[in-house]
Homo-oligomer: A and B are copies of this chain.
Amino acid sequence: MPKDIGLSDRVLVGDCIDIMAELPSGSVDMVFADPPYNLQLAGALHRPDNSKVDAVDDDWDKFEDFATYDTFTRAWLKAARRVLKPDGTIWVIGSYHNVFRMGTALQDLHFWLLNDIVWRKTNPMPNFRGKRFTNAHETLIWAARDRRRRSYTFNYEALKELNEGLQMRSDWTLPLCTGAERLKNGSGKKAHPTQKPEALLFRCIMAASNPGDVILDPFFGSGTTGAVAKRLGRRFIGIERDADYAELARKRIAAVRPLPAEDVAPKPARRSEPRIPFGILIETGLLTPGATLADPSGRIQARVKADGTLSTTGPEGDLRGSIHQVGAAVQGAPSCNGWTFWHIDFDGKRLPIDHLRQQMRARMQ
């Protein structure tokens, strides 16, 4: 146990660069940092139902330009590196707005990148204007303080167990922090704009620290890092600029009870079969655009398009849409399972395209 025990399990209020400068060097086992993302939002965004999106437009996320953001990033990373033990590791989380600048800064400051981890959100906010891909993930970078030191903590076996006996991969599928876990203020609104789910911190802390280790979070916010650290028997140092958030975090953590590790194992992953979009059969070449599909009798035919739609001529004119939509339309039925309705001739046999879906599932195992 280090002697600086007095500093741990506390939330310090102030600028993280200043406060880290006061901490003894080489005293921290792991850093988790969720800094401002520098979102650069232009105007208000409305949903199709005309409601306004509650965006992150706080002052703490505003930077004049990339150079200002880089200066800030390098300053706190440098301070964090001094405080880390030689065998320590750091986690940072960000989106495409800032994560490339953080990754570059980490490499320039001689951190050694171990992995980039993708947090796949099961329930992200959609892209309301249809102008981009749904931004459905955030990126974490996990890095060692030094290239040379190879004795950093990585609880390989524990993570493998968490993943049902398979090596934990670099993509983690987890829901957003919503519902009862999301801290609310008096009026029922979210108390902090960017509260992270505890499951995310659980996995980072479980992977890269041991019970009794000291974990530093320089952008403590609502205190998720502290809550999970306490629950998993780790110590923590939180730094937060906003006194109200710091107080919120203190109260939250005070209510947390440390638990034996076996009681906090996450829910096992769902075993359901993965959904296979029809389009992937085309993208991977199992089906060719222009191919002809037919109903079980062979009387109704339709043509496969490159975008995964079918086209055919129905009683009321041209039809184009998904395998399910066109299948329903040609039958005059309210709905249709296109996977079992549409068939393709293969080796002289007429097989449902569900057969191709099974092949695809096997490939994607």
Contacts and interface: CB of A to CB of B under 8 A. Distances in A.
A341 to B, nearest CB: 10
A206 to B, nearest CB: 7
Contacts of A197: 284
A129 to B, nearest CB: 9
Contact of A259 (B137, B203, B290): B290
Nearest to A233: B306
A364 B124 CA distance: 11
A164 B331 CA distance: 20
A96 B170 CA distance: 11
Interface in A38-90: 46, 50, 66
B199 A285 contact: yes
A100 B279 CA distance: 31
* Residue of A117, A118, A198 most packed against chain B (CB within 10 A): A118
Contact of A309 (B95, B267, B285): B267
Contacts of A279: 161-164
Interface residues of A, number: 104
A107 interface: yes
A317 to B, nearest CB: 10
A53 to B, nearest CB: 13
B99 A46 contact: no
A181 to B, nearest CB: 7
Contact of A132 (B154, B283, B307): B154
Interface stretch (A17-25, A108-116, A246-254, A346-354): A108-116
Contact of A171 (B118, B156, B290): B118
A79 to B, nearest CB: 20
A45 to B, nearest CB: 11
A158 B108 CA distance: 41
A182 interface: no
A307 B161 CA distance: 6
Contacts of A154: 130-132
Contacts of A174: 280, 283-284
Nearest to A275: B164
Interface in A97-144: 97, 99-104, 106-108, 113-118, 120, 122, 124, 126-127, 130-137, 139, 141-142
A10 interface: no
Nearest to A200: B283
B263 A303 contact: yes
A336 interface: yes
Contacts of A115: 96, 132-133, 135
Interface in A253-268: 259-260, 263-267
23 contacts: A50-B333, A96-B103, A100-B101, A100-B103, A100-B106, A104-B104, A120-B120, A131-B156, A132-B154, A136-B170, A137-B170, A158-B307, A158-B308, A159-B307, A162-B280, A162-B308, A164-B308, A175-B363, A175-B364, A198-B283, A202-B283, A206-B306, A267-B307
Interface of A: 46, 50, 66, 95-97, 99-104, 106-108, 113-118, 120, 122, 124, 126-127, 130-137, 139, 141-142, 150, 154-159, 161-165, 167-171, 173-175, 181, 197-199, 202-203, 206-207, 232, 259-260, 263-267, 274-275, 277-280, 282-285, 288-290, 303-309, 320-322, 331, 333-336, 363-365
